[in-house]
Amino acid sequence: MKTIKKLMQIALAVFFFGLLATSAVLADDADSEGWQFVQENGRTYYKKGDIKETDWRVIDGKTYYFDYNGEMVVGWQYIPMPVKGYTIGPYPNGIRLEGSPMPEWYYFDKNGVLQEFVGWKALEVKTKDSVGRKYGEKRTNPEDKEEKSFYTNYYFNQNHSLETGWLYDQSNWYYLAKTEINGENYIGGERRAGWINDGSAWYYLDPETGIMQTGWQYLGNKWYYLRSSGAMTTGWYQEGSTWYYLDAQNGDMKTGWFQVNGKWYYAYSSGALAVNTTVDGYYVNYNGEWVQ
C-alpha cells in the first residue's frame, strides 16, 4: 500500500509540472484590459465588467482560485476536479491553467495567493471548539464555541497540495491524517503520532517526530513487536529459536501463564516461551503446551 502511495506521488508531481509547462501568463496590467480585483460586501472578486472569474487564475505570476460564485478563496480550500465540459480560454491578464490540478486541499494566504509550499510546513490551526476539531470539521456540541489555535506539521507535495496518508521522506515513514471521511472532505493532513490504524493494521508513530517505529517497543508498561513494515504483530512470533505470543487483539506481549485455543502456555518475564521444562510444578512440552 505504501509503495503504491509513493508511485502515486511521483505520478501527480509529473502531472502537475506538465500542467504548468503548458500554461501561460500574460503580464499586462489588469486595469488596461478591464480585469481587476473588486471588493463587494467584504468579498474579493476578479472581474471585467459583470464577468467574474470562477476558477484557477495566474495573475502577475501569482496563482489564485475563485470559487463557483467568483469569490477569491483564502486559507485552506478543497478544490475538486472540474466538471465535464470544462473549457479554457485566453484572457488579457493571465489565463486559466490548461486543466486543473488534482482535487486536493490547498493553502492560500490572506491575499488569496496560493502558497507554493513543498515539503514540511508548520501552519497555525484554529479550532472551532474546545475539543480540538478544526475549521471544516463537524462539532458534536453546537453550543461549544471556544476557539483555540496551535501549530501543526503538514506536508505539501510537488503540486503544492496537502499530502495525506502514508508518506516516505528522508528514509522514514510518516502518516498524515486523511481528509475524506464517509465521502465528505475535511481539513486534515496533520502529521499523526502515537498509535494509528490505517484500515489494514495498527502502527506506532513517535510522539515527537511522527516517525513510524519498528521492532520491539515498550509502551505503556507493555511490550509490542512492530514488523519491518511497521504493522503491529499479533499471535505467535518467532525470533531465532525463541517463541513469543502477542495478544490477538491488543498486540501486547504475554508473560506468565496464558491460554490460546484451549491450551495453556507459560512465558518468562522476557516473553520467551517456556519449553521442555517444569514451571510451578507443571510440565510444558517442546511446543510449550502444559501436559496434564
For the record, the C-alpha cell of 223 comes out as: 511490550
* Mean pLDDT within 133-140: 40
Q: Is 17 helix (H, G, I), strand (E, B) or coil?
A: helix
For residue 44, what are the CA distances in angstroms to 71, 86, 136?
6, 23, 21
Alpha-carbon span 180 to 161, nearest angstrom: 15
Distance, CA of 235 to CA of 96 (rounded, Å): 56
Going by C-alpha positions, the residue among 282, 231, 239, 234 that lies closest to residue 254 is 234
Q: What CA–CA distances, in Å, run from 117 to 2, 109, 123, 126, 157?
A: 23, 11, 11, 20, 8
pLDDT at 140 exceeding the cut of 70: no
Pairwise CA distance, residues 9 & 118, whole Å = 12
Question: Of all residues in the chain, what percent carry a pLDDT higher than 90?
Answer: 45
pLDDT in tens, 201-225: 999 999 999 999 999 999 999 999 9
Which uninterrupted H or E stretch holds 32? helix 30-33
| pLDDT at 107 exceeding the cut of 70 | yes
Chain length of the chain: 292
Strands 256-260 and 242-246: unpaired
Residue 86 CA: distances (Å) to CA of 65, 81, 218: 15, 10, 55
Percentage of the residues of the chain whose pLDDT score is greater than 70? 68
pLDDT digits (tens, 9 = 90+) for 25-82: 323 334 447 899 999 999 999 999 999 998 888 898 899 999 889 999 998 888 875 5
> How is the chain split into domains, by residue range?
234-291
Question: Among 3.40.640.10, 2.10.270.10, 2.40.40.20, 3.40.190.10, what is the CATH number of 234-291?
Answer: 2.10.270.10
